[in-house]
Structure 1
């Protein structure tokens, strides 16, 4: 990352209070087992979908004490990829997310609310485009346990809607928001 944490894995992360029985995990973003995806309305007729290819993160997780979990993720915004080079260049420009000035986005949880049945809300602060705002991610546990290589993993999925105006990102037509879909697989440390 240009301006981010160098050694931590970046993505969506669930980290428990750093002193409980929670295990430490690193997000497997380099192993293609995690993704940060987005969808933006295009003229009200369809959605442009994409992802951020480079991110890092870590989390602590104890399924018996989900409410103590916390999350930290760092995203390289220059890695925005909508599968169309010219559109990506425009989205990265000062007309939208201005990656030359804001090349990193971060998310740090402030609390996790256990909703039962492996579902929970992750509440935290997202810093994007130079603005920090609270957001809530609707998340759920996919699974946790041993992997074939002798390690342990835990996986989650989450989603949230970001209102572009909240982050001073220009709205074009009916594209006033972006839907975020997050897939996180962590490797126990």
Structure 2
């Protein structure tokens, strides 16, 4: 009996002292077929002009256990701007706004995530636009994470996010002084991202 108790005590001690296996962040790749990004900016004070970027790619690291977005990068192709008006889209691509010929990429790099609820948080990152990099906070909702029910059937995370920026902080000032185009730009995102291991 003493030998049994001694062995049991030793086993329990080793179990308690052994390192606990912790989940690690895994990489998720944005599914470009299920990605939406829109922007809104007031035109001459009358109504918002709404548009989007149709070409985007990116990935981020997500810890399922802690619900933390730990790092990641999104890249938008500035030439892919679309507002359903050819002349306006051409203007947005020139030097007054996006200057797509010189700056083809708009990037957002995640630097921090602070949870604000069970499935909400604030992502802090660096937005690089027109060659200037400035910090930006984004309100994020982690909608659902599960194996996809149709199609690829891989583990997928869905996210909704939004923020408002002042474009003048990145040197885009056309039309602000004349009140032709607003300074505040509202950004909204909806995306699905697939765990990278599912696409290997």
The TM-score bracket by the shorter chain reads 0.7 to 0.9
Q: 1:67 to 1:145 in 2, by over 3 A?
A: closer
Normalised to the residue count of structure 1, the TM-score between the two structures is 0.84
The alignment partner of 1:165 has SS state of helix
Deviation at 1:20, TM superposition (A): 5.7
Q: Which runs of 5+ in 1 are unaligned?
A: 1-18
Q: Which runs of 5+ in 2 are unaligned?
A: 1-21
- The structure that is helix-richer by fraction is 2
Aligned: 1:143 with 2:144: yes
Deviation at 1:60, TM superposition (A): 1.7
Deviation at 1:117, TM superposition (A): 2.3
Which moved further from structure 2: 43-52 or 166-175?
Answer: 166-175
In 1: Cα distance, 2:69 partner to 2:54 partner: 29
Q: Alignment partner for residue 26 of structure 2, among 23, 26, 30?
A: 23
The alignment partner of 2:127 has SS state of strand
The alignment partner of 1:74 has SS state of strand
Contact 1:49 1:82 in 2 (8 A): yes
1:179 aligned partner: 186
2:101 aligned partner: 100
In 2: Cα distance, 1:60 partner to 1:96 partner: 31
Deviation at 1:62, TM superposition (A): 1.9
The alignment partner of 1:166 has SS state of helix
Q: 1:119 to 1:87 in 2, by over 3 A?
A: same
The alignment partner of 1:169 has SS state of coil
Which moved further from structure 2: 148-157 or 73-82?
Answer: 148-157
**Cα-Cα RMSD:** 1.6
In 2: Cα distance, 1:51 partner to 1:158 partner: 14
Deviation at 1:68, TM superposition (A): 5.2
In 2: Cα distance, 1:99 partner to 1:61 partner: 31
Which moved further from structure 2: 65-74 or 158-167?
Answer: 65-74
Q: Deviations over 1:12-39 (max 9, x none)?
A: xxxxxxx96222211001x2x0122111
Deviation at 1:164, TM superposition (A): 1.1
In 1: Cα distance, 2:23 partner to 2:111 partner: 16
Aligned: 1:157 with 2:160: yes
In 2: Cα distance, 1:124 partner to 1:81 partner: 24
Greater Rg over alpha carbons, structure: 2
